[in-house]
Structure 1
């Protein structure tokens, strides 16, 4: 097994986590009449200084994240997946310099110290690469906007036919890169290898679904030639996940299809939807191990998404007993609430600041936090789960039992959404309950109202 097969990620959105100030301009603000007068970057690092807001002199807010590394480990995770850390205009996804740490967080030395502290604890670090689009203060863009065809970066951006440049999903402040331009592939490769050389372990590739797969394949082939062990995961919302992985050269993609099925089936008391999604998930596992999650920096918190918080446990059970490479979005382990809204500032509720120390956090040490520790611990004791397949035994609107296995290894999972006990079937075996509550027999179980359980079977 490669190291990513053992990874369980703790996902942090750094700018929110450390309480960094919000930078101007807003995404809805029209462009200035004149682009900033800055020197465009070289294709080779380091690039020119950007116009990102400055932090308090000498302040390293990344050190606050380092203070949570022991919490990450106590939770059972061994990977730190960082959201954007590069110089940007506002929220991190409007990058203006991929070779410079956002001064609201610190500087390069601060990031490298965090990577070193993580490595000393056996924790891998994943960076978030925004390579589909850039902020309007990105020096290559300001030069192209000011000089037109005379700019050496004119080919990096596509005119939109209306006097401006093509943008990402209608966001004026996010200018799309032209991925048919070879220099853009050179630039992205240089960025990725620059930080891999400095000790990071992989990349989450933002908005990967909006970038041609042949561009990604060019970049990933070059990166892997130098860093064959790097883990590369693309953000993909829907579509042919396995095909995208193969064509783009990714290791994995974000499993949004399963994420939606988990909370939707629990809210609707329609476990047929979940069972169908698990079948699809099994098909993906023949090609790759999907990156699975219940929450991230872009979606409503699972505790707010579910209509009945009794099912928070059921959702977590599914996440941690099926194949894939799971991540926990920081705060979800404490049952944080937060609703994403489609407006300026609509992500603030799902990207809050955190206290200096974990023990100061509401929900710390409470049952849901402990359940994360217990279930992640169970997954650690069964590392084969990363490639395991599920086989359903009982399926109704409100009851589901399935086994999950790899070779001779096997667990049984039973879920009940009803307000009365449910009887479910299982393959004949000697089942021993190891988490949750249920009365197991040789070929089934009785699950309490709104209950769940996980059982092991001894090898013959």
Structure 2
């Protein structure tokens, strides 16, 4: 869900089970509150993986998710008129993901592509020739519409097809091309809300639309799909003085009215018949059997199921009477699995009861045990419930790791915060997805974030290599896209998800459909090369799925040249021992002698003497000196530089 939609409050906050105790050389070298004091190094050791650990499902290496906003990816139009129409500003298509495009995505180490905005959502475009009803601008955000106001879960956005009548077949072909290139396909599922005018043309026989069988005379009934405001018709929000619908364009349906009687609750839980402009007014909230007072109208999940596998969860729900909305979303996800989709990204999962996730995800795993399930959850005190009870493979690591890393990149926070966060999340780190950009967050190069794509370089090294967490990249991140366009409803710093718009830096990598980077500037091409090298290494280095040892505390205490603008750690397995050091200072080089404590040297079984180190990302060689069981390495980092060294053992 876009950031401007999010809220920290929630009428149905899920139950917490109280029973659960220098840029010219872009190679890596030439390339809140302060945390509580950490007094000892933290080592994480490999152990037998729990049964719901995604690394135990047959996947090899570290997952890399490439998020692409499907509508924008292949668009070569450079008009970028605010509130521009599809014809004025252009739109990308499924067919733009050619073999060359997919090879370019794969080169970033990608294992999964999240095609954002695929399910058919409300749009301001006339597709009545295909039997699709017109959407009312009064309940659509932007001209191209929010991907999180889904109108038909059994179809795909007609904007994305060369032939809208053939849109499902065109998406099917894209799924097959993606698989041919060795990557899996993820799409959005938005269980908390749907478009105000939901109506599925493509639903299978016997499937009823959301709300089709509701008793709308009552606020709540367990098997209603929506909540209602009985006796009150829906009213369009009061627009702020600064806002003009469709940029002021005349439209036959833009009349300040939308027929909905009685009114339904709005997607973020707002219960007024007239939601506010800041509410998710284009959507209506789904009822999962949570009563208006917050109590639950379904079987709750016993605490011991936090330690049980998906098979046990699946058996628990057999024979249970569950709300109708549960069944509808089960059928939707199973439809897409049968279609060839390999997993889902769940929008605002924390606004839906955790029991539903146990039900849904266990049914998904029953069909595809390797399905990739990623959820958006922003309350850290709920993380473990949604992983253990809700059977999520992965959650966004936004509030913990990303927020701390962003402050470091902006020069507002210490790197010690990253050490502390890594320690605090150690028990669930393999489930926490790391990222620096996505459609909700500001672009790194935007002035409100870092103002310079180079500042993402040390951050990306740390984010991708510090833990067993999977990593996500957002399209255009690898070429420094700043999201500078005023698109209309969507404003600069984020690439708009509501408007028809071009993405200039990304378009230069596209190079008119060649997808070879031929139009990139020298600096953009160098940045792309950095990302390719780093992410390929991240996806394949065995040490990154094994142990971690923080080197920060010892070096901060003993090296006057090492500061809170540097971060050092080790990653290692039996086959590979790595030393990673990054410099977040954008204006000053850093030189110091890195200390490797005796505990780590002992674990690596290194004798006193000199040991060769090989740079893993083009940074050359170095030497590790071990004296009296303590290791030392001379480190020289340019501004925003990093090194990744591997210990070379003598045969």
CA distance in 1 between counterparts of 2:649 and 2:176 reads 41
Verify the 8 A CA contact 2:194 2:267 in the aligned structure 1.
Answer: no
Verify the 8 A CA contact 2:439 2:494 in the aligned structure 1.
Answer: no
CA distance in 1 between counterparts of 2:437 and 2:219 reads 45
Matched, 1:385 2:418: no
Matched, 1:280 2:424: yes
Deviation sequence 1:235-287 (CA, Å, 0-9, x none): 112313233211111111111121222221122252122222222342323xx
Of residues 97, 103, 107 in structure 2, which corresponds to 1:74? 107
CA distance in 2 between counterparts of 1:151 and 1:345 reads 34
Verify the 8 A CA contact 1:132 1:206 in the aligned structure 2.
Answer: yes
- Matching residue of 1:199: 340
Structure 1 window deviating more from structure 2 (74-83 vs 213-222): it is 74-83
Say if 1:63 and 1:193 are closer, same or farther in 2 by CA, change over 3 A.
same
Of residues 138, 142, 154 in structure 2, which corresponds to 1:99? 154
Aligned length: 424
Deviation sequence 1:75-133 (CA, Å, 0-9, x none): 33232111120111112110011101111112110111001111112111111111110
CA distance in 2 between counterparts of 1:99 and 1:136 reads 16
Deviation sequence 1:408-431 (CA, Å, 0-9, x none): 632111122341423132345633
Say if 1:141 and 1:219 are closer, same or farther in 2 by CA, change over 3 A.
closer
Within a 5 Å distance, the mapping from 1:406-425 to structure 2 comes to 406-407=573-574, 409-418=576-585, 419-423=588-592, 424-425=594-595
Matched, 1:167 2:266: yes
CA distance in 2 between counterparts of 1:60 and 1:398 reads 41
Matched, 1:245 2:387: yes
- Matching residue of 2:205: none
Verify the 8 A CA contact 1:425 1:445 in the aligned structure 2.
Answer: no
Of residues 482, 485, 495 in structure 2, which corresponds to 1:337? 482
Could you say which structure has the higher helix fraction?
1
CA distance in 1 between counterparts of 2:231 and 2:362 reads 36
Say if 1:79 and 1:167 are closer, same or farther in 2 by CA, change over 3 A.
same
Within a 5 Å distance, the mapping from 1:198-237 to structure 2 comes to 198-237=339-378
CA distance in 2 between counterparts of 1:102 and 1:333 reads 27
Matched, 1:447 2:636: yes
Residue 343 of structure 1: how far off its partner (Å)? 9.1
Q: Which has the higher contact order (CA 8 A, sep 6+)?
A: 2
Verify the 8 A CA contact 1:426 1:445 in the aligned structure 2.
Answer: no
- Matching residue of 2:226: 157
Say if 1:98 and 1:348 are closer, same or farther in 2 by CA, change over 3 A.
farther
Verify the 8 A CA contact 1:236 1:253 in the aligned structure 2.
Answer: yes
Say if 1:199 and 1:291 are closer, same or farther in 2 by CA, change over 3 A.
same
Which runs of 5 or more structure 1 residues have no equivalent in the other structure? 22-52
Say if 1:384 and 1:444 are closer, same or farther in 2 by CA, change over 3 A.
closer
SS at match of 1:168: coil
CA distance in 1 between counterparts of 2:218 and 2:342 reads 38
Within a 5 Å distance, the mapping from 1:218-367 to structure 2 comes to 218-240=359-381, 241-256=383-398, 257-268=400-411, 270-285=414-429, 288-304=430-446, 305-307=449-451, 309-322=453-466, 323-338=468-483, 344-346=489-491, 349-351=494-496, 353=502, 354=507, 355=510, 356-358=513-515, 359=517, 362=520, 366-367=525-526
CA distance in 1 between counterparts of 2:529 and 2:231 reads 55
CA distance in 2 between counterparts of 1:247 and 1:344 reads 38
Verify the 8 A CA contact 1:165 1:175 in the aligned structure 2.
Answer: yes
Deviation sequence 1:172-201 (CA, Å, 0-9, x none): 111110012711111111111111112111
CA distance in 1 between counterparts of 2:487 and 2:228 reads 27
Verify the 8 A CA contact 1:399 1:422 in the aligned structure 2.
Answer: no
Verify the 8 A CA contact 1:324 1:387 in the aligned structure 2.
Answer: no
Say if 1:213 and 1:146 are closer, same or farther in 2 by CA, change over 3 A.
closer
Matched, 1:397 2:575: no
CA distance in 1 between counterparts of 2:545 and 2:519 reads 30
CA distance in 1 between counterparts of 2:543 and 2:386 reads 25
Structure 1 window deviating more from structure 2 (229-238 vs 127-136): it is 229-238
Which runs of 5 or more structure 2 residues have no equivalent in the other structure? 1-55, 78-84, 123-144, 162-166, 200-208, 233-262, 269-278, 290-321, 557-562, 626-631
Q: Which structure: larger Rg?
A: 2
- Matching residue of 2:128: none
What value does the CA root-mean-square deviation take over the aligned residues?
3.4
Matched, 1:86 2:86: no
CA distance in 2 between counterparts of 1:384 and 1:77 reads 18
Say if 1:362 and 1:179 are closer, same or farther in 2 by CA, change over 3 A.
farther
Verify the 8 A CA contact 1:86 1:101 in the aligned structure 2.
Answer: yes
